[in-house]
């Protein structure tokens, strides 16, 4: 009896491991990231995971950040984006929210960039900045709204009372083409589907006037939804065009690619995708900088 059970367990385990292996292969791939084609705008999105300031060691602690920060800077430099929306760029503590280790580190080590959609945390939530190249882009405006019944109240809780989640946005002028465009940076609640649906419905409400005004708009971020999911389709119904991102963008901090992309880039207005989007699935300095991969896409802006 015990032998029969052991054999059955071994068969089930083998099947599960085979399924995991197949899924990992299916959602993997390492397309190299070359230089952006001439006269294009490189757009990226990257979830970099929060840091727990009250934790000295262990996953996502300050000690862990010391290990990750070099690889994080290497990843940022490899992406080479003109504009990139970050999610979870937060140094979390119950005592203070004035510190942002990742923000300060990347800005200090990349002087060609500035951060939009940031400010005094008392008035502007600073955990979803939008970095941009200052030699190419001029920031014109910036703002935020929370995924809440009171979206213009800072740090208001989500629709079901969960932790605050929000969208940040910034408007830029491209010095090369003279055209303007907007970037809206989103991170939806991973735990609650109803929160995600209500959140993207609010995003649609806010971006519709920009789309109707024929603005060029990039929607970037961690949607916690795959292409074809209702979360994505609600946004797509506005007319924004999603880049065909294929394979995993979240890897469990292990390079384990079990399901399709949840991090996305979409566009509306006078911008055309050039080439295929790239997911940069690699370690830097032998480390995973975070538990997501960056997603990169190149676009040609029309005047």
Q: How do 113-116 and 130-133 pair as beta strands?
A: antiparallel
Q: Answer yes or no: is pLDDT of 19 > 80.
A: no
Q: Select from 183, 150, 167 the least CA-distant residue to 223.
A: 167
Cα 2 → chain centroid: 49
pLDDT at 7: 55
Q: Answer yes or no: is pLDDT of 6 > 70.
A: no
How far is residue 254's CA from residue 82's CA, in Å, rounded to a whole number? 28
Q: Answer yes or no: is pLDDT of 17 > 50.
A: no
Structural domains of the chain in order of their starting residue, each with its CATH number: 40-301 (3.60.10.10)
The residue that leads in pLDDT, 6 or 229, is 229
Q: Answer yes or no: is pLDDT of 24 > 90.
A: no
pLDDT at 75: 98
pLDDT at 93: 85
- Is residue 91 within 8 A of residue 69, CB to CB? The reply is no
29-54 confidence digits (pLDDT tens): 888 999 999 999 999 999 999 999 99
244-302 confidence digits (pLDDT tens): 999 999 999 999 999 999 999 999 999 999 999 999 999 999 999 999 999 999 999 98
Q: Select from 53, 286, 43 the least CA-distant residue to 184.
A: 43
In three-state secondary structure terms, 202 is helix
Contacts of 108 (CB under 8 A, 6+ apart): none
Kindly list the distances between the CA atom of residue 173 and the CA atoms of 63, 176, 269, in Å, as whole numbers in the listed order. 39, 9, 15
96-128 confidence digits (pLDDT tens): 668 999 999 999 999 999 999 999 998 999 899
pLDDT range class, residue 9, cuts 50, 70, 90? very low
196-255 confidence digits (pLDDT tens): 999 999 999 999 999 999 999 999 999 999 999 999 999 999 999 999 999 999 999 999
What is Dmax (Cα atoms) for the chain? 77
How far is residue 108's CA from residue 185's CA, in Å, rounded to a whole number? 22
How much of the chain, in percent, has pLDDT values that exceed 70? 91
pLDDT at 3: 52
In degrees and rounded to multiples of 5, residue 98 shows phi and psi of: -90, -10
Q: Select from 21, 85, 77 the least CA-distant residue to 69.
A: 77
- Kindly state the average pLDDT of the residues 184-204: 97
Tokens 């971020």, residue located? 221
Q: For the packed helices 62-79 and 101-109, what is the interaxial angle rounded to 10 degrees?
A: 40
83-121 core/surface letters (b: 16 or more CB in 10 A; e: else) = bbbbbbbbbbeeeebeebbbbebbbeeeeebbbbbbeeb
């Amino acid at each position: 009896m015990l032998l029969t059970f052991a054999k059955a367990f071994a068969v089930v385990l083998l099947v599960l491991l085979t399924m995991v292996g197949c899924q990992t292969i299916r959602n993997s791939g390492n397309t190299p990231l070359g230089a952006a084609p001439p006269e294009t705008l490189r757009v990226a999105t990257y979830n970099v995971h929060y840091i727990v300031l009250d934790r000295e060691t262990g996953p996502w602690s300050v000690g862990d950040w010391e290990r990750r920060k070099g690889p994080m800077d290497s990843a940022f430099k490899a992406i080479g984006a003109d504009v990139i929306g970050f999610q979870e760029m937060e140094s979390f503590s119950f005592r203070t929210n004035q510190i942002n280790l990742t923000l300060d580190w990347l800005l200090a080590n990349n002087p060609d960039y500035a951060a939009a959609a940031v400010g005094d945390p008392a008035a502007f939530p600073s955990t979803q900045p939008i970095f941009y190249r200052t030699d190419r882009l001029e920031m014109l405006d910036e703002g935020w709204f929370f995924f809440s019944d009171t979206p213009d109240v800072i740090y208001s809780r989500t629709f079901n009372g969960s932790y605050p989640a929000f969208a940040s946005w910034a408007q830029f002028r491209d010095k090369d083409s003279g055209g303007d465009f907007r970037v809206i940076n989103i991170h939806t609640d991973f735990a609650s589907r109803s929160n995600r649906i209500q959140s993207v419905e609010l995003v649609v409400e806010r971006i519709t006037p920009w789309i109707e005004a024929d603005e060029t708009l990039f929607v970037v971020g961690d949607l916690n939804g795959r292409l074809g999911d209702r979360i994505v389709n609600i946004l797509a119904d506005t007319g924004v065009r999603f880049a065909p991102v294929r394979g995993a963008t979240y890897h469990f901090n292990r390079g384990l690619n079990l399901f399709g992309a949840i991090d996305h880039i979409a566009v509306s207005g006078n911008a055309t995708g050039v080439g295929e989007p790239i997911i940069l699935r690699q370690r830097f300095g032998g480390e995973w900088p975070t538990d997501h991969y960056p997603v990169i896409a190149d676009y040609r802006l029309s005047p």
